Amino acid sequence: MREPHRITPHDYSVEKRPGWSAFFAGLCAGRLAISAILSLHVLMLAGCANVNPRDPLESYNRVVYAFNDAVDRNVLKPVSEGYKFVVPRIARLGIRNFFANLEDLWIGANNLLQLKVGDALSDWMRVVLNTTFGIAGLYDVASDAGLEKHNEDFGQTLGWWGLPSGPFFVIPLLGPSTFRDTSAWYIDAIASPFGAAIGAIDSENVAGIRYGLWTLNIINRRADALGATTLIDQAALDRYTFTRDAFLQRRRNLVFDGDPPREKDPDEESRVREEPSGQASAPVDDAVVNDATSARMTPATVQSEVQAHAK
Amino acid sequence: MFSRVSQWIGVLAFGCLSTAALAQELAPDVLVKSVAAEVLEIVRSDKGIWAGNPKRVMDLAEEKVLPHFNFVRMTALAMGPSWRRATPDQQKLVVDQFRTLLVHTYSAGLTAYRNQTVDYKPLRGKPADTEVTVRSEIRQSGAQAIPIDYNMEKTEGGWKVFDVAIGGVSLVTTYRDSFAQEVRANGIDGLIKTLVEKNKQNAGTRK
C-alpha cells in the first residue's frame, strides 16, 4: 500500500522560498540555531524510511512532549486548578482581558505586516477603547462595541508571506510548535508590548514584578485551558498524535484567517465505497476528502494559496 | 416552482407537524440553529447537568443531537484507506466504538458550557447543493471567537453532520493519523481493541 504522506523533505526547506519569505527566514535563522536543527532533521530522515513528513523529528518530539506533560501534570496543572479554585471567575476574566489588551498592539502590528490595514486599525482601536473605557484593559468593551478580536502572531505573518510551517517541533516547556513558529516565537517574545514592558520593568530592577506577571499570565492561561486538556485526555487514542494533528490544523487555519483553501487529495482511490451491511451507501466527493486532508500541503499548493491570498 | 409550492404547503402545515417530522424538511443551517438552541436551553436550565450528572448529559446527546450525525461516514473518513479493507463486521465495530468515544467527548464538552453566545454566519452555496458547511462562532470576552463549522450532507432522513471543525480543527482529520497509526501497528482488530479500552477507561473515570 502507498504511504499517505505527500510532502517531501525539501518542501519545507526555508532556503527555497524567495523574496520576502527569504528575508524573514534569514532574519529568524540568524537568531536561532536553525541550521543545526535542520541538519539534525536531515540526518534523521536518512535514518528512518517510514517517517511522517510533517513530523520527521517524532522520536525527539515524543520525548520532549512526555517531559512537558510530566511538568504540566505535576506542577502547572495542579497550581492552575488551585488558582481557579481560589480566584473568582470575574477576576480571572479581568486578568485574561488585561493581558489580551497588551497583546492587541502586537496583533495589530502583525496585521499591518500582512497588509491587512483595516484589521490593524481595528486592533489598535480596540487597545484605545479597552485601555480607557475598559479600565486599563480589565474589561473587553471593544468586543461589545463590535470590534472583533483577532488572532495573529509573527509565525502567522511568516506563513502569510508564504513560508511553510516546516516540521512539527515540540519546544521544551513551551509546547507544540513548528520550525517556522519556533523562530517566530522568539520575535514575538521580544517585540510584543508584553515582552517589551517586562523588559522595561527589569531595567528598574524589580524582578519580582517581572516574574510575577509572567507567572500570572501563564497560570491564568493554563486555568482557561483546563477544560480543553481534560477533553484531550478523554478523546485521544494517542495524546501526542492527537495534539500534533490538531495543532498543525489549527495553525494552518490561523495563517489563512479561518478560510484555508481546499487541496487536491492524491488518496482519492481510498474513498468510501462500502458500508456495513444494512447501511445506506454514503457518497463521498472530492471536496470532502480534500477537507479531511487539508493539513497536507505541497509546494505548488502553497504557492497558489499565497497568490490567491495576496489578491 | 415545485419548491415554492412545497414551501407554501410547509407554511400551511406548520402547526400540525411535530418537530421530528419537521427536522427532515429543515434547511441545514436552520436545523443546526434549532438543535443547538434547544440543547443549550436544556443545558442552561437543567440542574442535573450543571451538577455534572453524566447520565443526563448522555441522554440529552443521545436524544437530541446524535440523530443528526452520520457516524458511518465519519468513521469511514477517519479510517481512510483502511475502511475498505475492513470486513463489514469490523466496520460495524469501529463505528460503534468511535461513536461511543465521540459521544463521551461531546458530553464532557457540553457540561463545560456556560454563558457564551453563539452566532451563525449566512449559508453559502446553492439551494441544490447536497453538501454544505454551516458556520457558527462562539463569542467570549478577551479572546478571539471560536469558529465551529458543521459539514453536512443531504440524506433521505434530512441533513446529517459528517464532520465538525472547531477552530479549523476537523474532528475526522484529527483522528486520521491516530487511526492509521493503530492500524499500522496492530491491524484493524488492534484499532477496535484500542477504542474499546479507551471507552472503558472513559466510562471508569466518570462518576
Give the mean model confidence (pLDDT) for residues B99-104. 89
- Gap from A25 CA to chain B (nearest CA, Å): 26
d(CA A189, CA A198): 10
Instruction: Name the residue in chain B with its Cα closest to that of A54.
Output: B177
Q: Give the DSSP per-residue string, A143-206.
A: HHTT-------HHHHHHHTT----SEEEETTTEEEEHHHHHHHHHHHHHSHHHHHHHHHHHTT-
Closest partner residue to B144 among A149, A234, A294, by Cβ?
A: A149
Q: Does the beta carbon of A41 lie under 8 angstroms from any beta carbon of chain B?
A: no
* pLDDT at res. B124: 81
CB-CB neighbors (< 8 A) of A288 in chain B: 77, 131, 151, 162-163
Q: Classify B52 as helix, strand or coil.
A: coil
Summarize pLDDT for A219-261 with one digit per residue, the tens: 988 988 887 788 888 889 999 999 999 999 999 999 998 888 7
User: Could you tell me the pLDDT band of residue A293, with boundaries at 50, 70 and 90?
Assistant: very low
A59 HSE (CA, 13 A, CB side): 9
d(CA B64, CA B194): 28
| Amino acid at site A272 | V
Closest partner residue to B92 among A238, A276, A283, by Cβ?
A: A276
Contact A249 B194 (CB under 8 A): no
Instruction: Name the residue in chain A with its Cα closest to that of B88.
Output: A276
Contact B182 A148 (CB under 8 A): no
* pLDDT at res. A305: 41
Higher pLDDT, A261 or A160: A160
Torsion of CA B45, B46, B50, B52, to 10 degrees: -160
Contact B168 A254 (CB under 8 A): yes
For the CA atoms of chain B, what is the radius of gyration?
Answer: 19
CB-CB neighbors (< 8 A) of A4 in chain B: 80-81, 180
Higher pLDDT, A298 or A63: A63
Give the mean model confidence (pLDDT) for residues A95-110. 92
Closest partner residue to B168 among A97, A250, A275, by Cβ?
A: A250
Poorest-pLDDT segment among A136-150, A156-170, A211-225, B51-65? B51-65
Interface of A with B in 4-23 (CB under 8 A): 4
A16 pLDDT higher than 50: no
Closest partner residue to A267 among B80, B169, B174, by Cβ?
A: B80
Q: What CATH architecture is B3-205?
A: Roll (3.10)
Q: How far is CA A241 from CA A65, A176, A235, A260, A290, in A?
A: 11, 11, 12, 22, 20
Q: Does the beta carbon of A32 lie under 8 angstroms from any beta carbon of chain B?
A: no
Phi then psi for residue A190, to 5 deg, are: -90, -25
Domain boundaries defined on chain B: 3-205
Higher pLDDT, B205 or A4: B205
Torsion of CA A76, A79, A84, A86, to 10 degrees: -170
Look at residues A244, A223, A217 and name the one whose alpha carbon lies nearest to residue A84. A223
Q: Left, alpha or beta for A258 (phi > 0: left; psi -120 to 50: alpha)?
A: left
- Gap from B88 CA to chain A (nearest CA, Å): 5
Instruction: Name the residue in chain B with its Cα closest to that of A258.
Output: B168
A33 pLDDT higher than 60: no
Look at residues B89, B180, B128, B96 and name the one whose alpha carbon lies nearest to residue A4. B180
Give the mean model confidence (pLDDT) for residues A109-131. 96
* pLDDT at res. A83: 94
Contact A234 B178 (CB under 8 A): no
Max CA separation in chain A (angstroms) = 74
* pLDDT at res. B82: 93
Higher pLDDT, A251 or B123: A251
d(CA B24, CA B154): 10
* pLDDT at res. A29: 45
Q: Cβ neighbours of residue B52 under 8 Å, at least 6 residues apart? A: B111, B207
CB-CB neighbors (< 8 A) of A100 in chain B: 142-143
Instruction: Name the residue in chain A with its Cα closest to that of B180.
Output: A4
CB-CB neighbors (< 8 A) of A246 in chain B: 169, 174
End-to-end CA distance of chain B: 56
Closest partner residue to B202 among A234, A238, A285, by Cβ?
A: A234
* pLDDT at res. A212: 80
Q: Does the beta carbon of A274 lie under 8 angstroms from any beta carbon of chain B?
A: yes
C-alpha cell at A237: 487514542
Look at residues B149, B112, B156, B111 and name the one whose alpha carbon lies nearest to residue B132. B149
CB A267 within 8 A of CB A289: yes
Interface of A with B in 189-218 (CB under 8 A): none
Q: Does the beta carbon of A173 lie under 8 angstroms from any beta carbon of chain B?
A: no
Neighbours of A89 (CB within 10 A): 9
d(CA B52, CA A125): 40
Higher pLDDT, A306 or B169: B169
Give the mean model confidence (pLDDT) for residues A274-280. 40
